Chain A
């Protein structure tokens, strides 16, 4: 089970709370997912904020507020400070968006914001790319968790760069790594866990499924299987066939 900033979490599935057809669907999906962490956000109070607060409190999960939609370090830092007060946690999923179409992280602003927030006592979960240099800078800035994207947020494309994600796992064997964003299917989540990732964060794949609760259950099963496979030490791949049936003792006919 993953450990983030010294806190063990019961499930490697981290689930978002956005885009569900109804509050009841959200609650059902969380119940089926067994998720240990729920991501949440802050928006201008226009009614509904207090009801949502009551709903997420009833889920019995650890909250991870985000800075979604922030396009600069300063904006992200202020949002993080506001989130800490509203949600009563120093955990923050740090998003600094750099590109409107891909929602790709602005990794320069991300490192800058991480350094500021780290100095202010925050425990940062940075939404980043799988770039090794950027990840090293984030660790230098005080991050103890890295959350590289699988693919653009909400795209459902899966793991666009499995080689890069594998390299990141190999480069930082002792850092908690989470694939965040881009997951569309349980097989994508399983693939991330098979690589040795500590957790998977997803939202749209469940919220936008025809049956969100059923998809939440499927994701939980896939993540469990992927983690078990990683721990079982998968066989090496080869390009050529290797007979599985013994050759010795074969009849000469």
Chain B
């Protein structure tokens, strides 16, 4: 299955959002969106992902 994570296409065996993040080594203080919709952290383990899904994983960054 092929998904897009932070704009980069990647093959994955993950079936949930939490697994996809773990597979990519993403942890710590991040927030996630799936296909443009915010997914709160407690729901990542039960949120399924499908072929073609786009995941955004955002972290704290400098801002004005």
Contact = CB atoms under 8 A, between A and B. Distances in A.
Q: A and B from one assembly?
A: yes
A17 B29 contact: no
A212 B56 CA distance: 33
Contact of B64 (A39, A56, A79): A39
A151 B30 CA distance: 33
A239 B34 CA distance: 61
A86 B62 contact: no
Interface centre among B31, B32, B56 (most CB of A within 10 A): B31
Size bracket of the A interface: 35 or more
B29 A86 contact: yes
Nearest to A39: B63
A20 B63 CA distance: 11
Interface string A103-121: 0000000000000000000
A68 B26 CA distance: 23
B64 A43 contact: no
Given A41-B60, A86-B30, 18 more contacts: A26-B62, A40-B61, A40-B62, A42-B59, A43-B59, A45-B26, A45-B28, A45-B57, A45-B58, A49-B61, A50-B28, A50-B29, A53-B28, A53-B60, A78-B37, A78-B38, A82-B56, A154-B64
A102 to B, nearest CB: 15
Interface of A: 16-20, 26, 39-46, 48-50, 52-53, 56, 65-66, 68, 74-75, 78-79, 81-83, 85-87, 153-154, 203-204
Given A74-B36, A82-B38, A85-B40, A41 B31 contact: no
Interface string B11-53: 0000000000000001011111100111011000000000000
B57 A87 contact: no
A85 B62 contact: no
B62 A53 contact: no
Nearest to B59: A49
Contacts of A49: 28-30, 59-61
Given A42-B31, A49-B30, A82 B58 contact: yes
Nearest to A88: B29
Contacts of B62: 16-20, 26, 40-41, 52
Contact of A19 (B32, B40, B64): B64
Contact of A81 (B6, B38, B63): B38
B63 A44 contact: no
A85 B64 contact: no
Contacts of A56: 60
Contact of B59 (A18, A74, A81, A86): A86
A68 B36 CA distance: 16
Nearest to A51: B60
Contacts of B61: 40-43, 48-49, 52
Contacts of B36: 74-75, 78
Contacts of A18: 62-64
Contacts of A44: 6-7, 56-59
